[in-house]
Structure 1
Amino acid sequence: MTPQTTGLQAPPHALARSRELTEPALRAAIGRLHPLPRRMAAFSLGWCEADGTPSTSPGGKGVRQALAVLAAEAVGAPGATAVPAAVAVELLHTFSLVHDDIMDGDERRRHRDSVWKAFGTGPAVLTGDALFALAVQVLAGSGSEHTGAAVRKLAGTLGDLVHGQADDLLFETRPWTGPDAVTLGEYEAMAARKTGALLGAATALGPVLAGAPPRLVDALSEAGLHLGLAFQAVDDLLGIWGDPLTTGKPVHSDLRRRKKTLPVLAAMVLDPAAARRLELLLGSDAPPGAAEAGRAAAVVEDAGGRTFTLEEARRHATAARAALSGVPLAEPAAAELVALSEYLLDRQV
């Protein structure tokens, strides 16, 4: 996808500006944790190495922080209004990554050991719990008269995350073909809860704290939901065809873990012969080796799974833009939201 950002500030500017605004509050929040989860949280955010020394590794982009700040500005509020929301969303996101890596057995995250691999499973579970509790505390202490509504939104988001993750885990136990196979509709519902809900919260919580009208909050939440679905589709592409230097994970990593992702499920629906071949390659008890994963990737691509997934990403990105254009939002923040969403989806696929 080619970003249409002519005349707009470069999206990295929005990321840097939002990070500069929110990082002091994020660091202050992390500093309130017990020393053990504090160091592990700092490690997960890319601030330090496992031994506590300052890190030179890049952390996350701060996407959700930027969405929260820009969404608040888009409803006419100062970006600072959204700082508690931005911090809470970043903490919730980090919590979800820490726990997801444990459940998925992922040993690498952002080109280095995942938290559980570096510190152990028990301490990592504890750190994830601490991050979620801290997210609620930060939002509850925002001082806004609309704090109650924001906390309810955050709690609903957590419920969606848990629901989506539970579905994702159950998908692993279901057959590849037959009446009990995972459908495309079931997969999208899972992704909407696991990924879409969090980005929907990122674009809604700042406006909620600012007391924005429900119509604007709903439109921004819908835009975030669609952006999350587009983002997940691109992640699914990267999980098969992404450059390990970019993803920090081995090539064909999702196939080697036999994950039922959108490109694979789409290929099986589009081409019954491909479905049979993929079941043979991915359906055994032993994980596929490099050669088998490479053959599976070729089958998925030849059957149209890669093209289908890219088209889904574009469709949801278009829906996100439509939600933003359907309500009166303040400039330049509204344009920066569009530019940032397109920039994030223009990854190596």
Structure 2
Amino acid sequence: MLSDCRLLVEPALRAAVELLPASTRRIAGYHLGWWDREGNTGGAASSGKAIRSALILLTAQATRAAADALPAALPAAVAVELVHNSSLLHDDVIDNDATRRHRPTAWTVFGVGDAILTGNALQMLACDVLSKGDSQAVLPALRILGDAVQNLLDGQCADLDLERRSDIDLDACAAMARGKTGVLMGCATALGCLMAGGGAEQVEHFRQFGEHVGLAFQHTDDLLGIWGAPEVTGKPVYSDLRNRKKSLPVVYALTSDTPAGHELAALFQRGNPETHRDLVRAAALVAETGGRRWSQVQADAELTSALRQLKSAAPQKTAESELIALARLVVHRDH
């Protein structure tokens, strides 16, 4: 399913990136896994899961079982992929991550400034692509995308603030995750419905479906950031703990008021854990407080809420089955 959606979206995504100036086009193509640092296709790598663009195309099909549903939604699928990859370029700089998709991140290859500017270029390109869509829904679609980008940036700011603060709050962390991840997936499903001719009520149900899927995605992502296998995730083992990232299970642990939570807080306050033994202990402490189990339960609860909203959207049956399968994949994936 994801492969089929990628086959539909990637040619249009490549055509859009070709419109960038050479300086940012080379970095964007590297980040997207299309070529190596020199621009050679022999160095191609994974271009990601393309979950957001798949959500758009499947939502369009779920809204209207017509031959023109997918072409109408394609510009939105490209635009959301561009925004998502823009945020990844920025996140890698902010989080000081050196590896993504099994190879060096763009900023480590091309420099911080160039990576940031390329992220900015992808955001503007997303608006340009969406504005050229052949649909009466273009203007409201641009508003939805613009609101999502603003909320995403607000979530990124909240994430930075959370990393600096000692008085952390689980509700604030969940709100941050909603802004960073949930809102863009909600934007994707809303756009898929809107571009296929859905009405306001149906758009809202699909938006909430996507937002709940996004929160489930973030819980799973945070679990993989601690316990994911590096050969599958493409990131070093315990990568989030090494960066002292206050992810959802970590914040649950730190606010648990348990001996294990207090020990974890002391470990975080010492600075970045320097040894593998420290990282193993930190992961064990998160699990001991119940943080690992809590995130798993929350991901399942968000999936249940998402499927409830999907049913309320009264989708076309075939596409509904594929959306359910995709939502479940998001929660139970290993990378």
User: Is 1:129 matched up with 2:120?
Assistant: yes
- What stretches of structure 1 of length at least 5 have no aligned partner? 1-13, 176-180
Contact persistence 1:281–1:288 (CA under 8 A): no
Whole-Å separation in 1 of the counterparts to 2:44 and 2:125: 26
SS at match of 2:45: coil
Matched residue, 1:93 = 84
Aligned to 1:120: 111
Determine the structure 1 residue equivalent to 2:52: 64
The separation in 1 between residues aligned to 2:266 and 2:255, in whole angstroms, is: 16
Instruction: Summarize deviations over 1:203-241 as a string: whole Å, max 9, x none.
Output: 111222223111111011101100010000001101111
Q: Identity percentage over the alignment?
A: 44
The Cα shift of 1:125 comes to 1.2
Q: Deviations over 1:304-346 (max 9, x none)?
A: 1110110011000111111001231112111100111112221
Match of 2:239 among 247, 253, 267: 253
Counting only pairs closer than 5 Å after superposition, residues 137-176 of structure 1 correspond to structure 2 as 137-175=128-166
State the alpha-carbon separation in 1 of the partners of residues 72 and 7 from structure 2: 14
- Give, as a single letter, the amino acid of the residue that structure 1 aligns with 2:26: R
Q: Could you tell me which residue of structure 2 aligns to residue 208 of structure 1?
A: 194
TM-score, with normalisation over the residues of structure 2?
Answer: 0.96
SS at match of 1:39: helix
> 1:77-97 deviations in whole A, cap 9, x for unaligned?
522211000000000000000
The one-letter code sitting in structure 1 at the alignment partner of 2:110 is F
Kindly provide the CA deviation profile for residues 254-300 of structure 1, in whole angstroms up to 9, marking residues without a partner as x. Answer: 11111111111212333421221011111123444321111111111
Relative contact order, CA 8 A, sep 6+: which one is greater? 1
Q: Is the 8 A contact 2:168 2:255 kept in 1?
A: no
Tell me if the contact between 1:264 and 1:305 (Cα under 8 Å) persists in the aligned partners.
yes
> Contact 2:261–2:289 at 8 Å: present in 1 too?
no
1:52 deviates by 0.6
Aligned counterpart, 1:336: 322
Q: Distance in 2 between matches of 1:234 and 1:25?
A: 29
Which residue in 2 is equivalent to 1:18? 5
What does residue 25 of structure 2 align with?
Answer: 38
Structure 1, residues 32-78: CA drift from partner, whole Å, max 9, x if none? 11011111111111111111111342221211111100001111052
Specify every segment of 5 or more residues in structure 2 that has no aligned partner in the other structure, as ranges. Answer: none
Among residues 300, 325, 332, which one is paired with 1:346 in the alignment? 332
How many angstroms does 1:165 deviate by?
0.2
How do 1:197-346 residues align onto structure 2 when only pairs under 5 Å count? 197-346=183-332
Partner SS, residue 54 of structure 2? helix
Rounded to whole Å, the distance in 2 between the matches of 1:287 and 1:277 is: 13
Give the count of matched residue pairs. Answer: 331
Give yes or no for the alignment of 1:49 onto 2:62: no
